Structure formats: structure tokens, C-alpha cells
Structure 1
Amino acid sequence: MKKIVFLLGLFLLVGISGVSAQTDSTFTCPKQGGTLITAIADNPVSLNGIYANDGVSGAVLSYLFNPLTLGGENWGTNITGDLAESWSVSDDGLTWTFNLHHGVKFSDGKELTAADVVYTFNTIETSAEDIAPFRPRFYQGDKAIKFEAKDDYTVIAHLTEPNASFFTDISVPIIPNKALDGQDLRTGEFNRKPVGTGPFKVTDWTTGESITLEANENYFKGRPCIDKIIFRIIPDLQAQVNALLTGELDFLLNVPGASVDQFKTNTDFTLDIAEYDSLFGVFFNNNRDQFKDKRVRQALMIAIDRKALVDTVRQGYGAVHNSHFDQAVPFYKDDKLGGYDYDPKRAGELLDAVGIKDTDGDGIRDLDNKPWVIHLLSFQEGFRDYFSVSTVVQAYWKDIGIDVELETRDLSTMISQLYQERKLDKPFDVVISGWSQIGPEPNSYANFYTSSPELGPNLENYDNSEVDELFAKARTLTDTTERMKIYEQIEKILWDELPTIPLYR
């Protein structure tokens, strides 16, 4: 059987086609049955669709659940309905009505109703545990949006003010009514044995080894073409490539750029290369005094040769990214923003102007009469390209006289310490991180750059009241052109202040 390799964003994927379920009545499976074996880098944080939001969990969750609507974070770039067959909004923009597909069944055979949708949304709003980043999108100010089940197939949402991004804000996996009652959100049984409406269902999860999915015979879009998907848990990316080459895997997403040539010349594989909705970057802890002057962040930006970094880490299979929004948003242009070309001399001059200088001639710049040390945090070696990016960034910053200490942590530790709690006291100076599949709706990026007393700080502790107000204003505008102008204002502010350094996609 011929394998498929895919390079997305640019990004490599190797695998076989025919994984998806039928999407309309005219589609016919090229072949029915069989097992697809692929790999993920770690155990998912959870298979609870409204709790987990990391890339590893998402790779599995997308086969298990459906959202009410598509086009929001993790759910593609096509803004349309999924479990919602049709929808309408009142003239004043305050009442949304969603009509569900009839006959949709969960993997346990029970029919989906409006009560399941309302339960999902209410759980996100009221859980004692923080469900980042979904919860902020279900609030207007300090008020949770009210949802009601008018009947078994009709969900009504009552807003306090118009929200142009509401349709994609609610793109979250729908879980069964009362599924989490009596369970701890982080450790309950549902996290390992979820029930969803997606094309597959979980039949086995052997920690540290594999997760097995089997076709959901009840899937409302039609039975999947294949019978089973097995996710082998292989932490190291090169080990995943080796497993593919030896026939242990059928399909692999995001192959390292260094491995491209061996797949290009191997007729047993099909290699696909495509752009991908993603962004990798440097995230500052903006609450730390050393980063509060934007000139410091700007200096650290131009100290990095981003094009050379892409060539080194991705062997050119990537693109330097010039925005804090992904290229999926309507207003993104590669050549619109600039001013941060690689310039180590200017970087040093900016740091000198701030007063961060080498005062004792030891080659290390000093801050507050002590050698300036930046603690750089990264995911463990072998998980995506994060560690490789970190070592390159470390070298560039050392070149301008900064002592950079690199530390790595495993995926589960990073998720729990950095992403699941919205608090100021974060355990890093700088972290190399990224995201993917945030989607075309610009408001989906508000979670990264806004904060509020009710919901707490964002990942990088960036606090700018003007940015908060502009995001809030844009949500209330119904004219798309005017909305995009507001988001471009935000884009310009972020590009000047650099709460994070966009590297590449």
C-alpha cells in the first residue's frame, strides 16, 4: 500500500487517503475497511473536547466530536454549520437561533438534542475549573451568555449586545447532557472514555503506547471509509519518521524538513506540501520587569535572523510570518508590516539605550548591576520543532551579549503550568510556543492578547487597555469592512509593541 507524506506550513504529512467520513451523498469510498496507523508525540492531556486544547489532544479529538458550527478555533477555515443545519439572527443581533440536524447520534447510540448543546455551553461557563481558551468567548463582560433549548432540535442564544464573531466563538465540541455530572473535569472517566458524535469512537487507550479508534456506525454524515485508526505514541519526531519508513506507520503529519528528500525519491510514498494555519513564536512574560520596555522586545526581535532560522530548523519548509494573526485572517499580507529585519548591531544599540550594557567587560550585558540572564523555556526535545527553534534563538541572543539558560519540560507539564490557568505568576521568562488552526475569525485571537478582571491575564501577561477596547469594539460591528479595519489597528499596535515575536508558519 502506498503511503502519504504531508508537509504543511510548510508542513509534511505522510499517510493514506480515505480517512475522512463521507461528507455528502455523492461521495463513494475508494475502498471500504482497513486500519490506518499514525503517530502522536505524547499522551493527550485529555479526550474531553471542552477541556483539552493542545495539539496532541486535538489530533485525536477531531475524529470524536462535532461542534455546532465550523470556522472557529480547531475547526477549519470554512465558516458554516456542522451539527447546526440552519441558523438565524434577529435584526438587533441579540438573539441567535440554531436548528439542529435531526437523527444525529452519539457513539453510544443516543440521539443528539438541544439539551446536549446547552449543557456543553453551560458547563464551559460555570465549571469551577478554568477551560481555556473557550470560556472567554462565552461571556460578554462579566455576564455569561444565556442559552436555552426551545425544543429538542432548537437552541436559542440570548446576547446582551451584538457580537459579529459569535458564530465562530461557539465552535467547540458538543458533549452529551450530564456527561460530566459528578466527575472532576480534569481527571474524570470522560477524559479517557469520551462519547461524541464524530466519525470514530475510542475503544482503547494504553497510556504511553497507543490510542485506538473504531468507526462510529451511527455517524450522521455517513460511515467512515476505514474501520479503525491507531495513534501510536512516539515522542521523538525522527523516531516517527523511522517508523514510517519501516512500515510501522501508514501516515504521518508534519515530517521534519530534513526528511523531505528521502520521501520525494521513494515511490512507496506520496508527499504533499501545503500551507497550514499555524504560527510559531517567542512568548515573553510581559509581567517581568526586564521586558516591560518595548525596546527590549524589539531588540530581541531583530537579533534573530528569522529567515535563516526557517532554513536551519525547517530546511526552508516554512515562511517568515509578519503578524500576530495567522495568514487565515482576511487582512493578512506577508509584505504589509516590516521594520524588524535581522540587525544585531541595531539590537545592541537598543539595549544600550535602555541601559542594558556590558559594564564589566565579561561579554555579558548587565541589568541592575548583575549579568542579564534570560530563562528560556521549551517543550522537550523531539516534540515538533520547539527545541530546535529554542537553541537557535538562544545562540542569536548570546551573540548580542545575553546569557540564555535553556530549560525543557514535557507536554503535560507545559500544558498544566502555562495554558490551563490564567494567572500572573507564570513559571517562565520566555517560552517558545505556537498554535495552529485558530481560523479566519480575527476575534479568535483575542484570547492571546486581551485580559480582564473576570477572566484573568493571557499567556504572555500582555496588558493593553487599548487593545482590549478595540477587540471589544470590533465584536459589536456588523459591517465586515469596518470590523477588519479595527483588527488591522490591533495588528499594528501588536507589531509595534511585540508582546510576542512571530517567527514563522
Structure 2
Amino acid sequence: MKKRTAARSVAAVVGAAMVLTACGGGNNAAATTAAAGGSETQATAESSGGGNITKTDIVFAQASDVVTLDPAGQQDTTSGVLMKHVYSTLMDIDDDGNLVPDLAESYEMKSDTEYTFTLRQDACFSDGTPVTAKDVKFTFDRAKDMPKTKSNTSKIEEVIADDDQHVTFKLTQPYAAFKTIITNSNLSIVSEAAVTAAGESYGDVDNILGSGEFTVTEWVPNDHYTLARNEKYWGEMPIATTITCRVIPEGSARAIALEAGEVDLVWNVDATDCANIEANPDVTLLSQTSSSIEYLGMNTTKEKFKDVRVRQAINYALDKQAFVDTIIEGRGTVANSYINSMIPGWTDEVEAYPYDPAKAKELLAEAGYPNGFECKIYVNGDVRTRSAQIIQAQLAEVGITVDISTYEWGALLDSLNAGEHEMFLLGWSNSSFDADGSTYQLFYSGNHGATGNRAFLTDDKVDELIINAQKESDDTKRMELYKELQVYLHEISPWCPLYYKNDNVGVRADLKGFKLHKGATHYLGNCHYED
């Protein structure tokens, strides 16, 4: 998470207190954690400030590479890591899950369909040119025409650059989640001049232009990328001089690299490697309840999966506890619903499908598949491949033969976006802590494919509930709509929700300046070593 001062957080509250009170929306993630019973180890590699800084070149490891350097060309959490360090958004979510200023120092809700943001006077891109309201307008107008951002901008009727510092958004309908939607990394503000000059090549290392704490100096796809401190950054200067991300797909190899001192931090420690890291005094495991969900998705346009009885059968055929026990070694819980338990709007009134192979066979027979059928599942990475093997074994018990197709991350997303798949394994992380971020992109019929609805679900009742919840300003009524939506999704079963996992980050024991972000968009800019 970017370094945001307490003064900025106070400014957000003072400048927009009326808005936050009027709209509700449940942005107090700390309170949500307590209500959900989640435990968090916010262990810390934060600096005591008492030593001499000796190393500011930081290396970390991730399982996958970014898919692009253009914010509007991505919606995946891996690419979002880079975006949050290189670009800025109008508003942001801080380490504790609170809405705070970023490029906008304040905003005013003039009506339930009109917002005006006041930009910081000192904000500039890494070439020194100022960030203006025209750049904001250009960013959102451009995003409305791009597949991976159109869902986030679909309620924007018009963006008006009032002057250099003020920009007004007029919405087509009341949209309770709007103020958190604009924190998404794919709505990071880009330079109109830079994008126009680069044309379709925008996203190459030598032509991107952000206003964040770092710039991209090198990107070798599927190997590494390197960020360098932006000396013209308009906010508090980061401590880290460079940040290099090494792409290490295998979880055990990431853990070994951390223990050997080859990397300073592992972003995503596989659960199977957590115990070894906990036992090693040279490294530290930081863990917290995540805001993500791991799920098996089904393409509802494919012949076998059009039948709700087939989708329900697969839910009955899978022992979800087996995934918790073996894949994440107990570091998480069975997912009962389609929204993570950390997100306001989640309900415990939906129960996960019980493991019942006999019921699964009964439903398959009713659907015309008494002997089962053959199908394919698309996955990436070693963890999801192991999950797919469990799915393969458990579905075989009810007559379904599953062929596992493993892809590199970017290739997997391309295949899913094109709708080639029958089943797939993915996770979805909601760093905005608004239930709209767990539903609209994923299940609304207008968002098929790259926009997020990779189950290709089209259902009038789902659409109606999602839109009604977006329009509802009364927070209690809005949460009831999300409960009704979860109950209905459970019934029609476009997914098989598997588990809510912990976020596990491994760091060198003497690393300073790192803190977990509740939405797992951790900030690395203050990582360093001291005497």
C-alpha cells in the first residue's frame, strides 16, 4: 500500500464526511474483521527508525508475471501490484481498509448521481508535467471503451474537466460503490499526452507515464521487472531505491529463495511452505485473513453446464473441507458463499453444499447423464493444478472424467476471456471492501469474458438484484439485497465456492518498513534494512 499519512486520512474524513455518512457502504474494514471473527497477525517489519539504513534495493518474488504495463489493460491482482507502485488513483484504500485521498485531496457528493473531485495542486507525472482534470477525464473516457474497465465505468454518463483542479462525474444512476470503485488499479490516472503520443503501443516500458512513487525501468516477461524510485514523486518519498520482482511460479522455489536470502520478500507463500518459514529464525511469516475467494467456475453457455442440476451436482460432489485441509493446510475456511466473509454484505445464512456424492449422481441422472460425462478444466500454477487433481479424483467418483489443461497466467486469462473453457479454477480478491466488487463484474450479464463474468452467466434475477443494490443508498436495505443475491447464486450455482484463504507473506526477519494491507495490495516502497 502506498505510504499515506495520518493527515491525509483526516483530510479525507473532513473533506468528505457528508458523503461517507450519506452513502454508508460499510467501508470500515477493521470493524468488519471483528464482526466476521477473522484473526490477523499484523506482524511487522516496520522500522523503528533507530538504525542507519544500509540497503534500499529490494527484491521480491511472485508466482506470476504482469500481463501489461497499461492500467486499463488489466484487472488481475498480480498486475495490480505494479500499478499501485507506478500509478496513482483519485482515491485509495489504506492499509487498514479505509478510503483515503490519493490524487484527489477531497471530493463532494453534489447529488446521488454527481461527484466533484478536487485534485492536489502538486501532483505530477514522473516527467514533471502536472496531473490535471483533463488527464482524469481522458482516463475515464478511455476506460469506458476497454473490456477490462468498462464494468467499472458503466455507470458514468459524463466526465467534465471543470478546470485544471476540479473534475465532475455525472452518473447514469445512483451508485453506492462509486467512491470505492475508483480506487481500482485499472482506473489509475494516465497522461493524456503520453497515451496519445504512444497510440496502440502504450504499455511499452519506454512510453508509460505514471504519477506514482516508482517508474518501470525494465520488464522481461515471465522473468522479472524492475522499478526505480520516482524522484519527482509529489508525495512522501519512498525509502526503497529500486524494487525488482522475480517471477518464480513454483511455491517451494519461492520459499527457498527467501530462506537463502535471494529475495527479501515472497508476496504469496504457499500454505505448504508456511511451516518451514515459521520454523526458520532468519525469515518471518506474516499472515492475515484475506478478502479473496478461491472457486471452481463453470461456463454456463457450454451444453453440459447449461443445466443447473449439473452445476449443483458438481457442488455436491466436491468435499470442500478436503481443499482446506490439503491445499491450504488448514490456513483458511470453507467458503459458504460467493462473497468473502470479510466483505460487508456477506451472509452466514447460506450454507456450503454438503459433500454428498449420492445426491450428485441423482442430479446427474435427472439431467440426462446417468453415466457422467467428459470435460476439461483450465488452471494455472502448481497450487491450482493440485486443486484440479482433487477435483478430478472426486468428480471421477460420480462418473465425470476431467481433463486438466494447465496454462501460463496470461494465456489462461486469454482463454477464459474468449469463453473456450468448460470449467476453470480462479481466485477473486476484493480490495475495495464493497460487495459490489464481489458481484457486479463477476455475475452481471453485461460483463461476460474479460470484464469478469467468466462463468458467462446470464440471469435476469441476478442482474436485477445487482442493479438494485447499486442504486440503494440505505445501507441496511443494500445488505439485504446482497444476502438475497447470495441465496439465489447458491441455488443456480455458476460456481462451486471452495475456500477463503489466509494471505501469507514471507519476509526476511531483519527487513524493515513492510506492513500487510487488508486487501493484499501491499506497499513495498518503504522496505529497507538497517544496522
* Structure 2: tracts of 5 or more residues without a match: 1-37, 501-531
1:165 paired to 2:165: no
Mean Cα deviation higher: 303-312 or 42-51: 42-51
CA–CA distance in structure 1, aligned partners of residues 327 and 40 of structure 2: 12
Q: Which residue of 1 aligns with 2:58?
A: 36
2:494 is aligned, of 482, 493, 499, to 499
After superposition, where does 1:250-269 map in structure 2 within 5 Å?
A: 250-269=264-283
TM-score by length of 1: 0.84
CA shift in 2, pair 1:386/1:184, >3 Å: farther
1:78 paired to 2:98: yes
2:89 is aligned, of 67, 72, 85, to 67
Q: Which residue of 2 aligns with 1:433?
A: 426
| Letter of the structure 2 residue corresponding to residue 34 of structure 1 | T
2:285 is aligned, of 271, 275, 279, to 271
Q: Which residue of 2 aligns with 1:443?
A: 436
CA–CA distance in structure 2, aligned partners of residues 501 and 209 of structure 1: 33
| Letter of the structure 1 residue corresponding to residue 69 of structure 2 | L
1:221 paired to 2:216: no
2:109 is aligned, of 76, 89, 92, to 89
1:152 paired to 2:164: yes
1:400 paired to 2:398: yes
| Letter of the structure 2 residue corresponding to residue 446 of structure 1 | Y
CA shift in 2, pair 1:459/1:192, >3 Å: farther
After superposition, where does 1:36-435 map in structure 2 within 5 Å?
A: 36-71=58-93, 77-91=97-111, 93-126=112-145, 130-132=146-148, 134-140=149-155, 145-171=157-183, 172-181=187-196, 183=198, 185=200, 187-190=201-204, 193-333=207-347, 335-338=348-351, 340-358=353-371, 365=372, 372-379=373-380, 381-382=381-382, 385-419=383-417, 426-435=419-428
Conservation of the 8 A alpha-carbon contact between 1:94 and 1:161: yes
Deviation at 1:170, TM superposition (A): 2.4
Q: Which has the higher helix share?
A: 2
CA shift in 2, pair 1:61/1:457, >3 Å: closer
Cα RMSD over matched residues?
2.7
Secondary structure of the 2:191 match is coil
CA shift in 2, pair 1:161/1:107, >3 Å: same
CA–CA distance in structure 1, aligned partners of residues 302 and 50 of structure 2: 55
Conservation of the 8 A alpha-carbon contact between 2:448 and 2:456: no
- How big is each residue's C-alpha offset from its partner over 1:404-455, in whole Å with a ceiling of 9 and x where there is no partner? 1111111121122323x6xxxx111101111223432122220110113999
TM-score by length of 2: 0.80
CA–CA distance in structure 2, aligned partners of residues 12 and 51 of structure 1: 34
CA shift in 2, pair 1:318/1:159, >3 Å: same
Deviation at 1:250, TM superposition (A): 0.8
CA shift in 2, pair 1:314/1:63, >3 Å: same
| Letter of the structure 1 residue corresponding to residue 279 of structure 2 | T
CA–CA distance in structure 1, aligned partners of residues 75 and 328 of structure 2: 25
Give aligned pairs, total. 457
CA–CA distance in structure 1, aligned partners of residues 474 and 216 of structure 2: 43
- How big is each residue's C-alpha offset from its partner over 1:1-58, in whole Å with a ceiling of 9 and x where there is no partner? xxxxxxxx9999999556xxxxxxxx96976451111112343111111212223212
| Letter of the structure 2 residue corresponding to residue 178 of structure 1 | A
Conservation of the 8 A alpha-carbon contact between 1:285 and 1:461: yes
CA shift in 2, pair 1:329/1:13, >3 Å: closer
Q: Identity of aligned pairs, percent? A: 28
Deviation at 1:120, TM superposition (A): 0.6
| Letter of the structure 2 residue corresponding to residue 264 of structure 1 | E
Conservation of the 8 A alpha-carbon contact between 2:317 and 2:395: yes
CA shift in 2, pair 1:329/1:488, >3 Å: same
Secondary structure of the 1:108 match is coil
CA–CA distance in structure 2, aligned partners of residues 155 and 75 of structure 1: 27
Conservation of the 8 A alpha-carbon contact between 1:326 and 1:332: yes
CA–CA distance in structure 2, aligned partners of residues 310 and 436 of structure 1: 18
